[in-house]
Structure 1
Amino acid sequence: METTLGPVEIAGFAETHGEQQARYPAANLPWQPVHTVYVPADRLTSTTPTDWGRAATELLDRHPEAFAAVFDHDGLPRVAAKLATEPIEDLRVDFEDGYGVRPDEDADTERAATAIAAMHAADSLPRRWGLRVKSFADGDPARAIRTLDGFLTGVIRNIGQLPSGFTVTFPKVLMSAYLGQFATYLEELEDGLGLPYQTLGFEMQVEAPQTVLFLSEATRASGGRLRAAHFGVFDYTAACGLPPHEQRLDHPACDHARNVMQTTLLPEGIELSDGSLAASPASDSHDDVLALWRRHSQLVRHSLGNGFYQGWDMHPSHLVSRYATTYAFHLRHYDEYQSRVRAWHEQRQEGGVMDEPATVKTMTAALTRARHCLGIE
């Protein structure tokens, strides 16, 4: 072919392309929990996961009609099996809002470390686990650091190692500088505990409008230790001036914040999680259980439909609606996506649909998430 310029070298291309690959890695979808369960530190015991599973199972057994009214009744055996085998996928010991300010935090930290060690010995420690420390924004970072140090020191002393799946939740990140300060401390703690470099990563909570403004620099500010970002619905909506009855996950203000999280953090490989519903059944009556499951299911579907595949669960009743809704979401289009992906690879159409490569990648990712969630090989 005849050209005008001949061979061309783009100045600086190699450096720019290398930066692109480092900052925006190719999509990789490892297993991600569908939820995080927050338990105040003073309420944690070595049997917390099984206790939650048992409580959710008993509620399900008492209210099969309510379950059938909200969910596909065919999903009940799958949900029941999950509650019996792995009720909690991600456990966070809470030393922040769910715990408060207490004079005996040291003692609760030691007890929590002992409980985690007992779960590990009993093979009941969730695949993802960790703690939420107090916020630097409260003006006392020493308290957060002391608790994290004591917790990790106790866990490693009791077990002999740091079990896989550990993470730290860093709440109310109101200043970007807090990310670097926390990351520096984690590096020092790694060194003190004899852990390999970058063992200790953390997840930040997005709980204020000003936090949204610096999300694009969060990964770099954290020195690469930022692994996930969790949306905090109640602090965020309060900071936006919304009245209490509008402080909900499906408010448009929350949609905006989540969209910014997706556009700034997701391309950099940061996991995203939605927030919670601060409610439990008002009573054990059919109507109250039905109302809770219906509302929680609506919020979980809203999150899933907007690309947030993880959320917070705050009560055993949430486990039923979380798993039932999530399973139904992933199963709804599973067979269709399989057929369309297969047809694309075979260079033929499926059902008259002309899929673009980007759509095929999205369907492939959806199938991977479904397999992770449902345990499909």
Structure 2
Amino acid sequence: MSTPATSLPASFADLADRLLEGTDADLARSYPGEDGSRQPVHTCYVPADLVTPRTAREWGETALDAAAQAGGLAGLAALAGVEEHLREEVVARTERKLREEPVEDLRLDLEDGYGERPDAEEDEAAVAAARTVAAMAVSRHRGEAPQPAYAGIRFKCLEAPTRSRGLRTLDLFVTALVREGGLAAAGVAGDGLPPGLVLTLPKVSTVAQVQVMTEACGTLEETLGLPEGRLRFEIQMETAPMVLGLDGACPIPAMLRAAGGRVTALHYGTYDYSAALGVAAEFQSMEHPVADHAKSVMQVAVAGTGVRLSDGSTNRLPVGDGRQRREAWALHARLVRRSLERALYQGWDLHAHQLPTRYLTTYAFYRRSFDAAAHRLMAYHQRSVPGIEAADVADEPATARALARFVHRGVLCGALGADEVEAATGLGEHDLRDLAHPTTAVGVPTPGGI
């Protein structure tokens, strides 16, 4: 067979490599992709002085009691719009979740939920929060009680009025964790910090604030003998300048670069952001157009970076009479499903009574589409198997990765079982993860380490 004619010189590929060397490095550094580790389905915010090592268990018990008073989880599943053919499995998994791990991510709040207190009182609360987070990590390590996989604090922002207070609270908390936490003595492997530690920086407006937070983390690491890059943080998007800066550009990409890989997630703050844009209290909501715009900007800004996104909260809590609870549960379920459909896989829960609809809706979301996704994954997987006839669907590799990521998320959150996934797709858990995240870098720390 003759060699086909070409027009580019043989050396052009080498020239292209040289010209694009910088671009290749930038893309690899800035867009490493998701690492395939578990993302919590929610973050529960509780004032720091109200949290104890029993908080997660108490929230689970309270959630089950509230569901029982409403006629049971099956009734709430119907209220939440879970299809009848899914209810039995979804209810069983939700009940088990509320007993074994009712809270996935717990934030001890030393910001808005804690309020302004005398400095001595907040100092004491910051140290106490460190002891509580350490105790929860030890308890989880020993399997003694249902504890969150992720836990940490939200401290006051770096705006001028609260900057000094916020930095002092951060310092006290991290220092007490390392020096008083006792994790190593309890047999928790690592560097003295909980593997699921999360730090939340609220009300960020400028790149310079992220730079200061990054510098603070590096200084704490050096002083406390922690590995470089160990302290990472999430950013709350609650101000207009984080969507559109003074220069007319979105500052989020610059913030991520300034943090040098320390940012793990962006969280949308429903009410602060809505108020900042002048939305009247009656209309402030996770589904207001200004909320959707902000979250869309966030979504595009972090796509491919490995930084996660979280939706915000609803302040309509199911805590009143029977009618009020039903309306609030129905609203919460609808908002959770809406977020999931928009690829926002995490949100805020502000009360234990929101846990049933959080899990019922989340589990139904993954199980609702599982059969179709599994069929397509099986077809894709079999394309490389000799002797297997062509299937009735021909997905591209990018679509197959999206399907695998959907199913993998379902496994990680407890909506799907690894065994049933393998039976339906032919993919074991490791194969599923490799298909979902084929470019995951070895050695890249996961957000919180879980």
TM-score normalised by the shorter chain: which range applies? over 0.9
Deviation at 1:221, TM superposition (A): 1.6
Which of 218, 223, 227 aligns to 1:187? It is: 218
Which of 395, 400, 405 aligns to 1:365? It is: 405
Q: Give the corresponding residue for 1:244.
A: 281
Q: Does 1:149 align with 2:152?
A: no
Deviation at 1:5, TM superposition (A): 2.5
Q: Give the corresponding residue for 2:9.
A: 6
Q: Deviations over 1:142-163 (max 9, x none)?
A: 2111111111222221324211
Q: Does 1:89 align with 2:130?
A: no
Q: Give the corresponding residue for 1:337.
A: 373
Question: Residue 6 and residue 205 in structure 1: after superposition, are their counterparts in 2 closer, same or farther (change >3 A)?
Answer: same
Does the aligned pair in 1 maintain the 2:134–2:194 contact within 8 Å?
A: no
State, as a whole percentage, how many aligned pairs show the same letter.
38
Q: Does 1:228 align with 2:231?
A: no
Deviation at 1:282, TM superposition (A): 4.3
Deviates more, 1:327-336 or 1:216-225: 216-225
Aligned counterparts, 1:39-188, within 5 A: 39-64=46-71, 66-71=75-80, 72=82, 73-74=87-88, 75-103=90-118, 104-123=121-140, 124=145, 125-156=147-178, 157-160=180-183, 161-188=192-219
Q: Give the corresponding residue for 1:271.
A: 308
Does the aligned pair in 2 maintain the 1:266–1:272 contact within 8 Å?
A: no
Q: Does 1:298 align with 2:334?
A: yes
Deviation at 1:284, TM superposition (A): 4.1
Q: Matches of 1:248 and 1:188 in 2, distance apart?
A: 38
Which of 18, 25, 40 aligns to 1:18? It is: 25
Q: Give the corresponding residue for 1:37.
A: 44
Unpaired runs of 5+ residues, structure 1, are: none
Deviation at 1:361, TM superposition (A): 1.6
Deviates more, 1:206-215 or 1:193-202: 206-215
Q: Matches of 1:356 and 1:116 in 2, distance apart?
A: 44
| SS in structure 2 at match of 1:31 | coil
Q: Matches of 1:332 and 1:315 in 2, distance apart?
A: 26
Q: Matches of 1:236 and 1:83 in 2, distance apart?
A: 31
Q: Give the corresponding residue for 1:201.
A: 232
Does the aligned pair in 1 maintain the 2:379–2:394 contact within 8 Å?
A: no
Deviation at 1:358, TM superposition (A): 2.2
Unpaired runs of 5+ residues, structure 2, are: 184-191, 244-249, 384-388, 419-450
Amino acid paired to 2:280: P
Deviation at 1:354, TM superposition (A): 4.1
RMSD (Å) for aligned C-alpha atoms: 1.7
**Greater Rg by CA:** 2
Q: Deviations over 1:261-314 (max 9, x none)?
A: 1111132110111111112124242x2221111000111011101000000110
TM-score, normalised to structure 2, is 0.80
Q: Deviations over 1:297-354 (max 9, x none)?
A: 111011101000000110001111100000000111112111102212333665x544
Count of residue pairs brought into register by the alignment: 375
Q: Matches of 1:300 and 1:93 in 2, distance apart?
A: 22
TM-score, normalised to structure 1, is 0.95
